[in-house]
Amino acid sequence: MRNRVLKRKWIVMVVAVIFLAFYTFYGLPPTSSNHAPAYLRIDGEVRDSNIVTWVGLADHYEVISYRALFARSSYHFVAEEFYRVSEPRFEEVNIIEGLTYQYRVRVVDKDGAPISRWSRSVKRTLDIQDYGDNVFTNPPTAVPEP
């Protein structure tokens, strides 16, 4: 009897550790399509360049966690190209899939020099928040430094 209880405790602890490791790296999954994740994607051919692709799902988003990705740093994200990939889809009055925008960004240091070496933390999911009534059709040219 005691062995079964210990075995269950170990299983629960292992599952909890796996969840915490996943949460630490990726964050919690989105709760709705209005809070879909945005990803800073690094493609193989541009890994050593200063160009990456940002893909944001939904239409009212603002980056809020670049501080976590580039802690103790002063990088800027500068938009290079920006275009709409898909239109929003609605079900009754609820948005089920937002606008999908894709644009390439340049990352520069505080003096404007391009950053060409990437740390692995750049691959983590960026947190975003609802932008309210300010529809994100005109993206900012630069995100303020942390």
**Which pLDDT score, from 0 to 100, does residue 11 have?**
92
Residue 121 has pLDDT above 80, yes or no: no
Mark whether 94 and 63 lie in a shared domain: yes
Q: Which residues form the domain of 9?
A: 1-29
The SS3 call for residue 7 is helix
Q: Provide the pairing of β-strand 125-126 with 89-91.
A: unpaired
49 vs 114: CA distance, rounded Å: 9
**Which pLDDT score, from 0 to 100, does residue 7 have?**
86
Mark whether 86 and 25 lie in a shared domain: no
Residue 104 has pLDDT above 70, yes or no: no
Mark whether 40 and 74 lie in a shared domain: yes
More confident residue, 87 or 11: 11
Mark whether 36 and 20 lie in a shared domain: no
**Which pLDDT score, from 0 to 100, does residue 108 have?**
54
Residue 8 has pLDDT above 70, yes or no: yes
- Average confidence (pLDDT) over 40-51: 38
44 vs 141: CA distance, rounded Å: 25
For the record, the structure tokens of 146 come out as 């942390």
93 vs 121: CA distance, rounded Å: 37
